[in-house]
Each structure stands twice: as structure tokens, then as C-alpha cells.
Structure 1
Amino acid sequence: MSAVEVFLDETPGETRGVVLRDGRFTHLLIQREDDPAETRLGARSIGRVVEINPGLRGAFVDLGGAAPGFLPLRRQDRLTQGERLEVTVVAEPRRGKGATLRRLGPGEGAPRLLEAGPDVAEQLQRLAPGVESVTGLPAIDAAIEAEEEALSATHVFMSHGIDLALERTRALAAVDIDYAASAGRDPKQGRAAANREGLRQTARLIGLKNWGGLVAIDLVGDGQEAEAQMKAARAAFAHEPQAVFAPVSRFGLMQLALPWRRTPIEEVLAGADGQATVRTRALALVRALRRQILADTVTPRFVARCHPEEARIAAPLAARLGPRAVVQADPDAPAGRGRIQET
């Protein structure tokens, strides 16, 4: 049985949950207080059909207070514009796409939220039933470490001689498994072991990053061991029953399709330019202040000086930490370079 640890970081403005299995991060959950509740995974709403798009084989549904969601339609489905439906979110929004919905039945009244999706604490209990969440300093640090790994494009596993590169484009996620053979080891067995571990870590990292869609994996070697490679892939992605696999090509390229469920971590934290948004930087500063307060219970006050745009968001959140936390706007402070001082 795998060893499981769960961490819950509830910092004003943002809650984070982390799952650690056998010493490796498998899930990073992030919910912000200003996220539209209507588009959270599992949320249930009354929606109104505002557009039917035959080309996309779906309809756009007004959820009330959030961007319209998309409801895929089957051939036998019949909807009319203005019709009310009860729907649930099966995939959160991602860049350029609204939430994906599933129809539950007819609805009545104005578009509105009926029931919010599970919060971070509830999701952690579903992912690790019966495991008590660790809070405080360890939770803050675990979330920071998980974020760093989720945002990294390269991952090295020295014990297995593996170097993984993961890159997400508009069309698909590309994974390259590189292997450095070790002296004295049978090359064929080494490649097989590298592919098994590479696929296992790929599955973990894709889950940590909240990725879905088409995934192309460049395996070690060619496709001569396709049957063994496919077996290893199915084992690695066994936690995802909706995964669909294509045959391994003679060049050693594996393709699979995974369902989208959550907003990718990089889109939660960064803008279209790939840089951390103002809100992300402000929340990081508040988290750093909270960490200082928890780590040092003696210092009377901590003052964070930061860029005015960040201070506008961070100041009211830091006030909820109590009188020991203060945020001050500093026009000379570079964006993302706020500093905390003891006073």
C-alpha cells in the first residue's frame, strides 16, 4: 500500500491542497476566493441556452454570473434557444474555452447556481479518504514545492537515468523520455525499465499539471516492444478509466487521449504571456507573510513592501492575518519582487 500525505493551506484569498504519494506530488488543487463558483468542477446550476452551434455540435449556456459554458450535444438531442436546463460542470474553463457541461434535466427560473462544486478540503478527502490534512507551515511549503514541480518543463530522475521533458501546445501535450544507459546493464532491459518508469512519472506529472487532451509520448527506443510498452502505459494511467490509447508506432511514438477536468495549473497562475499574473504575485506575498507569522511568533510586525498593483490586492487579504501583517505600496518595487521586513 502506498504512503499518502495530504496538505491543506488556507491562506486568505486562496486555498491549496496537495497530495503526496510515496514521496511524490500527485495533485495540486488551487481555489481562489474570486473564482466563479458556477464554473468549479462539480458545480450544479440552472442555465439558459443562449446559442446553438451545429458546427460545434453543442450549445452555449448562460450560467448566471460567469462566462457561458459549453454543452456538447448528441445527434438525438433537441434544444431551443432560451430553454432552461439543469447542468453540472464536468470540465473547468481553460484558456479560450469555457466550462464544459453535462445536462442533468429540465430547469426553471433564471440562471443561477444551485450547488457549488466540492471545495479543496472535500476534494482532498475524496482523493485520500480518511487521511487527515496537515496544515500550517508544512502545508505552505508543500504547496510551494508542488507548484514548482507542476510548472517545470523538465524533470530528472537520476536513480533511473531518466530525463523527462513535457510541453503543452495548443493542440497536444508532447512528452520526451530520454534515457542514459548505465554501464554493465543489459541495454534492452534498461530501455524497458526506463519506459516503465518514464510512463509512470509522465502519468503523475500530467495529473499534477491538470492536463488533458491528446498526449504524444516519445518512448525510449523504437516500437519493437510495443506490447510491453502498451502494458506499461495502461498500468501507469490505470487511475484514469477514460484514457484512450492508440497503438505504438514503429518509431516508438505512443499517443493517448485524456479527459479535461480541471483548469491547468499554469493557466491558474500565469497569463497568456506565461508570466505570473498580478493576482498570483499578490497572493504569493500574502502567503509569504503568513509563513513568516507562523514561523516567528515573537516579532511584533512584518511589513511587506511591493508594487502598488500587488499591494491593492494583497493589503485587504493580509489584514485578515491580524495586526502583525502589513502591506505597503512601494512605487519603486519591481513587480513580483516584494520584500518583507521586521518592525
Structure 2
Amino acid sequence: MTGAADLEVFLDDTPGETRGVIARGGRYTHFLIHRDEDPPQHRLGARSVGRVTQVVPGLRGAFVDVGAGPAAFLPLGRNDSVAQGERIEVAVVAEPRDGKGAAVRRLGPGEGAPRLVESGPSIVQTLRRLAPDAPILTGPPAIDASLEAESEALAETHAFAADGLDLAVQRTRALVAVDIDHAPAHGRDPAKGRARANAEGLRQAARLIGLKNWGGLVIIDAVGDGRDGEALSRAVRAAFSEFPQAAFGPVSRFGLAQLSLPWTRTPVEEVLSLSVRTRAQALVRDLRRRLLTDTATARLVARCVPEEATAAGLLVAALGPRAAVVADLSVAPGCGRIQED
């Protein structure tokens, strides 16, 4: 376990998108993103008055209009019931993903039109809750940390040379697959080496799944043939002990460990899916970093394709009079450049 001295917290508040990052022991553990245009009704923890638009017995739930975007889904227990048209107050327990609306839980009766009652915690509030005693770093160090966390969160394979580990953490429609490979060190006990590799591989897999904001069924192919299922099961429980509501299954006869994790936030790869908006935001972030580190230049101009310039226009204006964006047909999409004016 790492102490407070090993904890780093970063806040990148670039116009258009706020990012929060937490690192423990030099490894990123949390990567939070809020975009300005995201409906606040869909954010984790938000409370809204909603109207039940459809009850679906086959799904044991109902769809609820919360006043923005796709309807939220309300799971219903065996003894729960709602009626179509009923007004209820709900709270978001899982943000939208895979084109689906948020998942909510019922708080009680509601009145009036669907609307937001209380926003979910901001990124600053979430950082304070997760790391109450750590200072929050901003400016260029925060921008750099957010870009490093983004790169790791979007990667599917991860190498840890010091531990001889090659780790793949990949998501499909049905599940998250974790594959731990290990290169044993010459002259060391193979069994002890496998145990250490599995413990570290599981620890890193848990960290990366949290960083990516993933949930659902997780299948883990660990090092070895799985004959010691009890030891592997204990290692999995230890690695994922900080995940609330995690459900652990048995190790299969093929040596595969299984667990289920709750979904809470929109996966990072969906928030940052390749689009004009994402490319424009990346250019605004680069421009802001240049402005913060190059205070001597009177004016800096971002040149990009016209659609990116349009998307970035208001965000660049928020950076102040030293910043500008210009449409340039000679620049390839996603390859915007920053120059002195």
C-alpha cells in the first residue's frame, strides 16, 4: 500500500473539457473526464425528476425520461413496481455507455416536468473525496499527466519490463479479457516466479480496468495451468479488493478466474472516441499548454482543418487574446499545428 507521499493529484481545466487524474506510487489509477456539453443529468450521482415512459417486464425495469438525451434505465426488484407516466426522483448510478442511457435508482416520488434537481459531484469534488489530503496540481504538469493517463487508458497491451510482465487488458461487447504473460528469470524458482507474476499482473490489471472506467464480466488468464485455483482466487480478491460491489466467481478447470465489476462511469474510449470534437479539444489543450509555458510570445495561432477550427473557435476564445485559431486546408485532419503569429 502506498502512503500520502506517493499520492499525486492533477486537475486539467482546459476550456471545453475538465480532467482529473490521480497517481499512486507513480502509476495512474483514476482518469476522470467531463466535457462541457455533456448533459448534467447523465453524470454519476446526479439527481433528477423523471417520467416513466415505458415499463418492460422482460427486462425487469423501466425507461425514465430525465429531461435530456436517451431515457435512463431503472432496474426493478422483484417487489418493485412503477406505472407508465409516473413521476419519480432518481439518481444516476451508472453513466451512459454503448449508446445506452444512464442507469438510475429510484429515490422517491417526484413532481413536475423532467428536470435536473442536483448535479453530480464535480471533478474537483471527486478528487477531494478520493484524495482529501493531497494538493491538486494544475497547469502544464496537469496537462502532461492527463495526456499520459489518456495514452495508458486507451492502450490494450502493457509491458512491465522490471517484473517481466506482458499484460493485455481488452474489452469486447461481452466481457473484459485479461491475459498475463511472464518471462521467468533464469535461476529463480519457477513456482515462486509465477506467483509473484500473477500477483503483480492482477494488481496492474485492476488498476488499468479502473483507469479505463470499465465494468462487467472480467475473465483472467493468469500464468500457469490453474492447478492451484485457491491461490489464484485469493490473489484476484486481493487485487480487486478496492472495487465496491465486486462479485467473484470460481476459478474454472481451465485456470480462468472470473469476476464481475459494476459499471459506473462512461468508458474512456467512448468519451474520447475519434471525432472532430475530440481532435479540436486536443488542439485546444496543446495551445493552452504552449500559452502557459511560452509567456514571451505575444500571440499563438492554432492552424487546423476548417471543421476543427469551427469546433475549437469558442474554446480558443476562452484562452484569451494571445490565442487564435485559423482554418488551413493544407493541414491534415488531426494534425493541427501551433505557430507564432
TM-score, structure 1 normalization: 0.97
2:275 to 274, 277, 281: 277
Q: Distance in 1 between matches of 2:82 and 2:296?
A: 63
Match of 1:189 among 192, 195, 198: 192
> Equivalent residue for 1:273?
none
Residues 69 and 101 of structure 2 are in contact (CA less than 8 Å); yes or no, is this contact kept in structure 1? Answer: no
Query: Higher mean Cα deviation, 87-96 or 233-242?
Result: 233-242
Query: What is the correspondence of 1:252-331 to structure 2 with a 5 Å cutoff?
Result: 252-270=255-273, 276-331=274-329
Segments of 5+ residues of structure 1 without an aligned counterpart are 271-275
Deviation digits for residues 188-221 of structure 1 (CA, Å, limit 9, x no counterpart):
0000000000000000000000000001110101
- How far the C-alpha of 1:322 sits from its partner, in A, is 0.7
**8 A Cα contact 2:158 2:168, kept in partner:** yes
Q: Distance in 1 between matches of 2:279 and 2:295?
A: 25
8 Å contact 1:61–1:68 — kept in the other structure?
yes
Question: What displacement does 1:231 show?
Answer: 1.1
Secondary structure of 2:58's aligned partner? coil
Q: Which has the higher mean CA deviation after the structures are superposed, 69-78 or 42-51?
A: 69-78
Q: Following superposition of structure 1 onto structure 2, how do residues 25-40 of structure 1 map, counting pairs within 5 Å?
A: 25-40=28-43
Partner of 1:12: 15
Letter in 2 for 1:263: T
CA deviation vs aligned residue, 1:106-140 (integer Å, no higher than 9, x gap): 00111000000001101101111121200000000
| Displacement of 1:335 | 1.0
Instruction: Compute the displacement of 1:76 (Å).
Output: 1.1
Q: 1:223: Cα distance to partner?
A: 1.6
Match of 2:61 in 1: 58
| Structure-2 residue corresponding to 1:92 | 95
Matched, 1:249 2:252: yes
Q: How does 1:97-246 map to 2 (within 5 A)?
A: 97-246=100-249
Q: CA RMSD in A?
A: 0.8
Aligned residues: 338
Distance across 2 between alignment mates of 1:294 and 1:156: 33
Distance 1:75 1:249 in 2: 31
Please give the per-residue CA displacement for 1:17-66, whole angstroms capped at 9, x wherever unaligned: 00000100000000000000000000000000000111111100000122
Q: Deviations over 1:129-156 (max 9, x none)?
A: 1212000000000000000000001000
Q: CA deviation at 1:292?
A: 0.2
Residue 75 of structure 1 corresponds to 78
Deviant stretches of 4+, over 2 Å = none
Q: Tell whether the 8 Å contact from 1:222 to 1:250 is kept in structure 2 after alignment.
A: no
SS at match of 1:96: coil
Q: Any unmatched runs of 5+ in structure 2?
A: none
Letter of the structure 2 residue corresponding to residue 58 of structure 1: G
Identity %: 65
Provide the secondary structure at the position in 2 that maps to 1:55: helix
Aligned to 1:41: 44
Q: Deviations over 1:269-310 (max 9, x none)?
A: 01xxxxx11111101000000000011000111111101111
Deviations 1:203-262 (A, max 9, x none): 000000000000111010112121111111111111013111111123221111000000
Residue number in structure 2 paired with 1:24: 27
Contact 1:69 1:100 in 2 (8 A): yes
1:332: Cα distance to partner? 2.9
CA distance in 2, matches of 1:10, 1:150: 19
Q: Output the amino acid matched with 2:326.
A: Q
- Give SS of 2:298's match: coil
Q: TM-score scaled by structure 2?
A: 0.98
| Separation of aligned partners in 2, 1:223 and 1:246 | 14
Are the equivalent residues in 1 in contact too, given 2:63–2:71 (CA < 8 A)? yes
Q: Deviations over 1:84-120 (max 9, x none)?
A: 0000000000012210000000001110000000011
